[in-house]
Amino acid sequence: MRWAAVPLDSLPGAVNVYEVGPRDGLQNEPGRVPLEVKLELIARLVSAGLRSVEVTSLVRPDAVPQLADADELLARLPASPGVRHPVLVPNQRGLDRALAAGAREVAVFASATDSFARHNLNRDRAESTRLLVEVARRAVHEGLAVRGYVSMCFGDPWEGDVDPHEVVRVVAELLAAGCAEVSIGDTIGVATPGAVHGLLTLLMEAGVGVDVLAVHFHDTYGQALANTLEALRCGVATVDASAGGLGGCPFARSATGNLATEDLVFMLDGLGIATGIDVEALARTSLWLARQLGRPSPSRVVQAMAGEPRP
């Protein structure tokens, strides 16, 4: 069923939905997801209208076993004209693999806190940021587009509140290294709209344009859509999401599912904001994926559409 769109003032006319399901959505799955399922998931997402689909991460197989098939996935991934297929690279070795696979876009990730950097990369924040800056600069030199992530921007399970000025500093370093876009991550889902407004305002006051920012909200405390709406009001027009609301971070147990792409697109459709995504086709994809994983989808939109006819 289609519902009338009721726009709000001062929101973007179009939003780029950056799909992280095949990477961030699946990386924490306890059971092995077959490569054929991953490839079909990516194909279905593209068919539903997604134009930015992060497909995997080139990490050590022992660190994230679910993504041990990354090289084979990239070798078998069909070309999709007009579709971005970034891959996450944690270090120079990961970048080597991305280049060998013919990747045209990579993502690097930094932490706003020491504790998460140590748990995730076995280095303090300063050293881990220095190393990824080198990766980003080399990737740019090799002609790749580079996206940056900053984790733990609003709260850290070991340190508590995060100083927003530290987030600004890390974002500035990533942009200076050549990142075309930086995604602000609420890794454990503790942000609320006031905190989102405050951080984005601080970033803009520091000279960071909203056109180079994306937001990445986890829905741990049910705040992801509210936080997204506030980010849109601030002018952000790229939003990360995961089909079916899957995901989490294997290095932070309190980081539960991502914002569900279906829930995001349903809200954007209702606001009259263009995405190019067919929410019903997307929901059918997540229902299919839920059957592959053997459990229901946490997305409210997927649950609401579950009784409708589907192929």
Phi–psi pair at 298, nearest 5 degrees: -80, -10
DSSP-assigned letter for residue 78? P
Q: Which residue in 153, 179, 234, 249 is the catalytic one?
A: 249
Between the two ends of the chain, the Cα-to-Cα distance in Å is 17
Would residue 234 show up in a list of annotated catalytic residues for this protein? no
Hey, what long-range contacts does 116-124 have (CB within 8 A, 24 or more apart)? 116/151, 116/152, 116/156, 116/158, 116/187, 116/251, 116/252, 119/158, 119/251, 119/252, 120/151, 120/251, 121/90
Instruction: Name the one residue in this structure whose structure tokens are 């019903």.
Output: 280
Helical H runs in 48-91? 70-76
Q: Name residue, tokens 């904001």.
A: 273
The length of the chain is 311
For helices 193-205 and 224-233, angle between their N-to-C axes, nearest 10 degrees: 30
* DSSP secondary structure, 198-244, as one string: HHHHHHHHTT--GGGEEEEEB-TTS-HHHHHHHHHHTT--EEEEBGG
Task: Please identify every residue annotated as catalytic.
Answer: 249
